[in-house]
Amino acid sequence: MKDLVVVITGASAGIGAAVAELVAARGGRPVLLARRAEELAAVAARCGAQSLAVVTDVSRRDEVERALQAALARHGQVDVWVNNAGRGINRLVSELTDDDLDDMIRVNVKSALYGMQAVLPHFRGRGRGHIINVSSMLGRVPFATIRSAYSASKHALNSLSANLRMELRAQHPGIHVSVVHPGVVQTDFGKNALHGGPDSRLLPNSQTAEEVAEVIAGVIDQPRADVYTRPWAKQVVVDYYAAEDMGRAEQEFQAPARPPR
């Protein structure tokens, strides 16, 4: 990871901040994007002189483009782009409004699309690069019905990622597209969800942002298409989609939390 220029969205806290600090600790040059200037500056200070903080609303295409240009002006290149910014929701499907769904798509899907489309010409010109999209286990299986539109947005992000990977494979094999699927992470995600929600830090079977950052660092070092941050998570997904009756599998998800396997 030494000397790699790694752009990280949603870098003012949580997973994004943990990734930025880990990149810096391993000799990389993190470029931190987020809306909250004070919090972003604090993370950048912890990352050291090689870091660059760019206050950015990644739900605006023009601001994402501007952030890319700032990174190129500082470092001359970008090696990895991590689309981590996102937001949850606390609302059942039957309760969703147009604004609810629009917000989830804007923050969780369009922001990643803007990042991918902004950096792709640079990657194509260099013949290499790596896009990492931070998705969720809820983008694979319906663990939490209150996260309905969030889950839908992550399913959409997964599909865009896979389609881009296939689009690039023949002519640009040096450009990698990875998706990382955390479960519950001990951050402010739950408290900051649209319409509120349970504190993610108090939920069972959670993991730290630093643990997720370690997985993302591993993907940077060894690019893979689809990665889970828990050793048991992939099998849960396989079992769900292989189930003869998905309805019965979903009943198990709604039961009291089962231990990891």
- Is the distance from CB of 160 to CB of 120 less than 8 angstroms? no
Give the whole-angstrom CA distance, residue 73 versus residue 80.
16
Provide the token pair at 19. Answer: 């990734």
Verify whether residue 150 is a known catalytic residue. Answer: yes
- Is the distance from CB of 4 to CB of 220 less than 8 angstroms? yes
Burial of 65 (0-12, 13-18, 19+ CB in 10 A): middle
Give the whole-angstrom CA distance, residue 12 versus residue 53.
9
Provide the token pair at 157. Answer: 């992000």
Q: Is 35 left (phi over 0), alpha (psi -120 to 50) or beta?
A: alpha
Give the whole-angstrom CA distance, residue 137 versus residue 153.
12
- Write down the catalytic residue from 114, 150, 228, 241: 150
Share of the chain residues as helix, strand and coil, in percent rounded to the nearest 5: 50, 15, 35
Give the whole-angstrom CA distance, residue 46 versus residue 55.
16
Q: What is the set of active-site residues?
A: 150
